[in-house]
């Protein structure tokens, strides 16, 4: 006998309760995950609707006491069914429970009070109303006269106006309604986070030849019913957004809806403004900084078909559109598209899966595509289009690479090279704006030499070693470790240490060197409040500051026409990260940073400061040469068996008992080896990058194989083994496919 697992109410938030039902013979071959079904529920067997979240061959309690599914709901809301199926896919491919996956794809769980606008509508003819008004005035019925006079002037008035401005009491309103003089109407007011911010503008944009080629090529296949994933590789400022909007306009005209994913909340305002000007108030947003009421209302508007476009970070992918036609991931290479919480899904993979279910196309856009996407485009799995030039009269900026080793030798110990100081002085005199970017990614724990620029690396994994509090350098892939050296192993220099400069220090240094300059700083500390992103970016966009200092968030997708100089400080820091993707991330962030300069009429300039001026990621970023970077980086990935050449599975183990964790991690490693899965390489066990967090000890194991299916099957074997052994209940185990950040 087969059993089906059902959740009853997906809006209540009580997703930890799954009920089991018997599958009748008539539905045995028809039921699928995600379907809405009719079920008898509770003591009185009252008929209810539920969603199928999985199947089982074993009963949770005696089958004779179990009820049967009574039927499949026809014409049910497809969006929720698709999201349930998406959760089932996450559970299988991302290593989570079904409940964890459900709570991810159904983010709006609790209903909030809806805002209702009550209006009074006059039912009297004008002549009849005027006679009655005269009568009220003669009898000195002042409240009735005020109400009737206002209604004769406006015909319809909202209750708030009547109460607050005209001082009409509920009893007077009730009497008018009872006498058939007015009718009360209720209208739901949706809380729109951008209400009144923007106006729709009729504007025509002439696409260039490359943009037209991309739009027409993708649309020709769409019109034929072909639904694919496409990579749109366009240099910074090449007009990828115009391509997105033209495709969305055609999809909307076809009666469908669009999801636009962006990597950062900081990009929301500028992105929404552009889309709102094109598509009006049928565009909205979904992100974590909305109030509960705002978030719930966008969810309802989407479900009721009152929105055409939703914009937001990765969680916006789960908006309940029932007519989804296109999903766009802008800046698809960004690591923020990968969830760091269970389930550890990647929005790109989830978007492709959802698109297949509902017959939608997927567009991945980036100036610096992830190696995974470019690899799939090169092998023909994805469609591929390129935009090689900037739109309008804008040209690519002139880029200089400054060797900080030479600056040090010549006595310049400032954060700013002489070249950058000179360029800043010229731009400030010309009343042009400057962005100073501190590349802090990968800052934690690396050790490098200021004389030769070399970092200390693991001989087995070719990633940098991280310095721990015990004075030892460790690799967080394989566990290799050495004591902290007193001199550089490469050149014997004593100038070997970590990097300590921060955005606050840079802000102070700018003010010291250029006291006349107005400086804004944008980092984690200055963007904690709800509107902080918008406030800082709007102020800079209006020209209220000359210099914007910040970390990664200032170089992702922003478009400021008056920015003509970008200074990249400590460009090579990200190369020192204890991470096989270090060169890719360095290339991406430097290319994006350089691309912020010269997006208006005036030519731009970028200065890249580095201790490793000859590294291929820095050289190719300066030249905006993705193909040359990819050709070198993919050789390294193949050689070291890293993604995308191989699939990688991270197994993260944590436990408050250090000895038990060590024992279970070694036991798991031995069990993996005993399975003798052909082609699987195991790295570790090793300490996690953060070996202890909040009194919880942490370890990692990494597995590599050419095929994802092999590792998925192996993951399920490990999960089954752990379920049977009660000792594993004391250890938390998480799985992460192709991890983007170290555990």
428 and 560 share one domain: yes
Number of domains the chain is built from: 6
Residue written as token pair 């109407």: 185
15 and 155 share one domain: no
Mean pLDDT, consecutive 10-residue stretches, the chain (743 aa), reads 78 62 88 85 84 82 87 74 87 84 72 67 86 86 87 83 83 86 75 56 77 96 96 89 95 95 72 81 78 77 87 90 94 91 94 94 96 95 92 79 90 89 94 86 60 80 73 78 87 75 81 92 72 81 90 73 89 80 92 81 88 93 93 95 95 95 96 95 89 87 95 94 92 93 77
224 and 254 share one domain: yes
Q: Which residues contact 603 (CB under 8 A, 6 or more apart)?
A: 395, 397, 398, 564
Rounded CA separation 740/743 (Å): 9
Q: Which domain-ending residue is among 461, 476, 498?
A: 498
286 and 235 share one domain: yes
Q: For residue 446, which phi and psi values (nearest 5 degrees)?
A: -75, 155
97 and 128 share one domain: no
631 and 674 share one domain: no
The CATH code of the domain that includes 48 is: 3.40.1440.60
In a domain, 463, yes or no: yes
pLDDT at 434: 93
The CATH code of the domain that includes 252 is: 3.40.50.300
In a domain, 197, yes or no: no
In a domain, 352, yes or no: yes
Q: What count of residues does the chain have?
A: 743
In a domain, 148, yes or no: yes
pLDDT at 269: 64
* Residue in 181, 183, 176, 187 with CA at minimum distance from that of residue 121: 183
Domain, as residue range, for 494:
447-498
406 and 536 share one domain: yes
Indicate the DSSP class of residue 574: G
Q: Which domain-ending residue is among 460, 482, 498?
A: 498
459 and 569 share one domain: no
Q: What is the pTM of this model?
A: 0.76
β-sheet bridge partners, residue 696: 693
23 and 158 share one domain: no
In a domain, 532, yes or no: yes
Rounded CA separation 206/209 (Å): 10
In a domain, 201, yes or no: no
Structure tokens, 43: 């003591």
In a domain, 110, yes or no: no
**Using H for helix, E for strand and C for coil, what is the string for 629-673?**
HHHHHHHHHHHHCCCCCCEEEEEEEEECCHHHHHHHHHHHHHHHH
169 and 303 share one domain: no
Q: Which domain-ending residue is among 432, 466, 498?
A: 498
The CATH code of the domain that includes 654 is: 3.30.70.600
pLDDT at 465: 81
pLDDT at 65: 85
Residue written as token pair 């693991």: 458
Q: Which residues contact 392 (CB under 8 A, 6 or more apart)?
A: none
β-sheet bridge partners, residue 4: 21, 55
> Max CA-CA distance within the chain?
105
Tell me, rounded to whole angstroms, the distance of Cα 398 from its chain centroid: 31
Structure tokens, 515: 């006291």
230 and 336 share one domain: yes
178 and 290 share one domain: no
In a domain, 203, yes or no: no
The angle subtended at Cα 410 by Cα 409 and Cα 415, nearest 5°, is: 85
pLDDT at 631: 96
């Amino acid at each position: 006998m087969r059993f089906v697992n059902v959740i009853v109410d997906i809006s209540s938030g009580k997703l930890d309760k799954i009920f089991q039902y018997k599958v009748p013979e008539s539905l045995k071959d028809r039921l699928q995950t995600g379907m809405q079904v009719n079920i008898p529920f509770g003591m009185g067997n009252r008929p209810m609707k539920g969603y199928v979240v999985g199947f089982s061959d074993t009963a949770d309690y005696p089958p004779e006491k179990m009820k049967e599914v009574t039927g499949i709901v026809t014409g049910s809301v497809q969006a929720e069914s698709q999201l349930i199926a998406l959760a089932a896919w996450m559970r299988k491919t991302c290593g989570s429970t079904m409940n964890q996956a459900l709570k991810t794809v159904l983010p709006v769980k609790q209903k909030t009070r809806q805002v209702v606008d009550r209006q009074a509508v006059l039912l009297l003819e004008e002549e009849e109303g005027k006679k009655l008004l005269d009568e009220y005035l003669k009898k000195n019925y002042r409240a009735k006269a005020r109400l009737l006079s206002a209604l004769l002037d406006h015909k319809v008035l909202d209750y708030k106006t009547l109460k607050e401005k005209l001082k009409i009491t509920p009893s007077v309103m009730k009497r008018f309604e009872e006498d058939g003089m007015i009718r009360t109407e209720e209208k739901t007011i949706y809380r729109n986070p951008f209400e009144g911010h923007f106006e729709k503008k009729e504007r025509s944009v002439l696409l260039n030849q490359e943009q037209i080629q991309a739009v027409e090529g993708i649309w020709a296949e769409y019109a034929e019913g072909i639904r694919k994933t496409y990579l749109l590789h366009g240099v910074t400022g090449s007009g990828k957004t115009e391509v997105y909007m033209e495709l969305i306009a055609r999809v909307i005209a076809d009666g469908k809806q669009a999801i636009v994913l962006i990597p950062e909340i900081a990009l929301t305002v500028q992105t929404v403004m552009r889309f709102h000007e094109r598509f009006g108030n049928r565009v909205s947003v979904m992100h974590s900084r909305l109030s509960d009421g705002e978030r719930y209302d966008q969810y309802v508007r989407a479900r009721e078909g009152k929105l055409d476009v939703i914009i937001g970070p990765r969680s916006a992918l789960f908006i309940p559109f029932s007519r989804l036609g296109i999903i766009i991931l802008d800046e698809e290479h960004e690591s923020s598209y990968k969830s760091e919480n269970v389930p550890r899904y990647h929005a790109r993979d989830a978007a492709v899966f959802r698109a297949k279910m509902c017959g939608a196309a997927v567009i991945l856009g980036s100036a610096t595509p992830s190696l995974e996407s470019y690899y799939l485009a090169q092998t023909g799995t994805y469609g591929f289009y390129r935009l090689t030039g900037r739109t309008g009269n804008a040209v690519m900026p002139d880029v200089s690479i400054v060797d900080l080793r030479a600056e040090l030798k010549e006595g310049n110990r400032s954060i700013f090279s002489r070249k950058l100081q000179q360029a800043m002085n010229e731009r400030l005199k010309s009343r042009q704006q400057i962005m100073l970017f501190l590349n802090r990614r990968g800052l934690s724990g690396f050790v490098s030499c200021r004389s030769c620029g070399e970092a200390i690396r693991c001989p087995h994994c070719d990633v940098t070693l991280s310095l721990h509090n015990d004075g030892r350098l460790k690799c967080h892939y394989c566990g290799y470790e050495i004591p902290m050296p007193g001199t550089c192993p490469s050149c014997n220099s004593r100038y070997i240490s970590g990097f300590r400069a921060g955005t606050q220090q840079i802000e102070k240094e700018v003010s010291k060197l250029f006291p006349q300059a107005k400086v804004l700083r944008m980092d984690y500390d200055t963007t904690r409040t709800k509107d902080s992103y918008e406030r800082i970016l709007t102020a800079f966009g209006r020209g209220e500051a000359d210099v914007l200092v910040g970390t990664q968030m200032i170089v992702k997708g922003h478009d400021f026409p008056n920015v003509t100089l970008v200074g990249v400080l400590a460009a090579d820091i990200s190369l020192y990260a204890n991470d096989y993707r270090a060169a890719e991330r360095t290339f991406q962030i430097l290319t994006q940073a350089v691309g912020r300069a010269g997006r208006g009429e005036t030519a731009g300039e970028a200065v890249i400061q580095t201790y490793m001026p000859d590294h291929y990621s820095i050289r190719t970023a300066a030249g905006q040469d993705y193909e040359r970077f990819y050709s070198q980086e993919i050789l390294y990935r193949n050689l070291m068996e890293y993604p995308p050449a191989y699939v990688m599975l991270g197994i993260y183990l944590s436990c408050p008992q250090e000895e038990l964790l060590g024992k279970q991690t070694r036991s798991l490693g031995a069990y993996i080896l005993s399975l003798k899965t052909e082609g699987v390489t195991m790295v570790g066990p090793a300490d996690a990058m953060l070996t202890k967090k909040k009194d919880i000890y942490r370890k990692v194991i990494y597995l590599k194989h050419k095929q994802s299916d092999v590792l998925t099957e192996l993951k399920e074997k490990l999960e089954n083994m752990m379920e049977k052994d009660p000792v594993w209940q004391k250890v938390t185990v998480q799985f992460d496919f192709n991890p983007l950040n170290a555990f």
